[in-house]
Chains A and B, each alone.
Chain A
Amino acid sequence: MSYWKCRYCNCKNEETDNCKHCKSHKPKEQEKEESTVGNNHGHHHNETDITQDFDLASFMGQESDELIWIKDSIDVTVKSTDTQAAVSLQVGLQLAIALVVSVTVADSEHGRHIAHDLFQKFNMEQTNKQKIFVKNSKDVNITTTDTDLAVNIQALLQVLVSLVAKLDIL
């Protein structure tokens, strides 16, 4: 029996179509055949063929982790910003910028370059991790704000407003 090694998770597989560990990856030969049909950016998933165009519109990486750990304590109040809402707001802004660029530039490849340039200037890729530990305490108030995300959102809005102002839309 022949084996093939998945190049993403490195696990050995028998003659199955997809990698048994990460499910969607295939033997190299098969993947090569498929990549000639669709564009192959990064990891190859079957579904990405359909949504390929949106990959670049919102390619900015942002990771926000928040961990609040409370033990043996009493009367602890936690106030935390809804990071999820902030992230979707950020994606909305990125898409709006991509939309304005795409409407203004007929050539989609060219438009993609411009949107890419705009996003890249901000170097938005960042990780924000907050860890808070509370132990053996009483009457503690915790307030956390994801300031990085708030700044990003405001900066993206400024870019969007500046773009549309230049086009006499506002």
Chain B
Amino acid sequence: MSELPKSPKVISNKVIDLLVSDVLQKNGVNLEDVKKKLSDDQKELLRAVVEDLTAQVDEFVKKSPKKK
């Protein structure tokens, strides 16, 4: 598999942002309404989930064997 790029290409954050906004907009989600609806507990829980997953992904990407 020597032809594979040395490190995975990461998609630009702007593209992802645009994609997420587009999907939410097309499905008629009003972000302001949703923000008001979320309780502090829910926000705290989701924040913990995201932080945990971010740490796991970082660790996985770092752990992948380096090519010579």
Whether the Cβ atoms of B50 and A155 lie closer than 8 Å is no
Q: 1/0 per position for B41-52, CB-CB distance to A under 8 A?
A: 011001101100
Size category of the binding interface on chain A: 35 or more
The chain B residue sitting closest to A82, CB to CB, is B63
B16 CB contacts on chain A under 8 angstroms: 155, 158-159, 162
A114 engages B10 (CB within 8 Å)? no
- Is the pair A89, B24 in contact by a Cβ cutoff of 8 Å? no
Please name all residues of chain B whose beta carbon is closer than 8 Å to the beta carbon of A93 when the two chains form the complex: 53, 57
Contacts A96-B49, A169-B50 hold; do A154 and B8 have CB atoms under 8 A apart?
Answer: yes
From residue 18 to 44 of chain B, which have CB atoms closer than 8 A to chain A? 19-21, 23-24, 26-27, 29, 31, 34-35, 37-38, 42-43
- Given A158-B13, A170-B50, decide whether A150 and B60 contact each other with a Cβ distance below 8 A: yes
Q: What residues make up the interface of B, taking CB atoms closer than 8 Å to A?
A: 1, 4-5, 8-11, 13, 16-17, 19-21, 23-24, 26-27, 29, 31, 34-35, 37-38, 42-43, 46-47, 49-50, 53-54, 56-57, 60-61, 63-65, 67-68
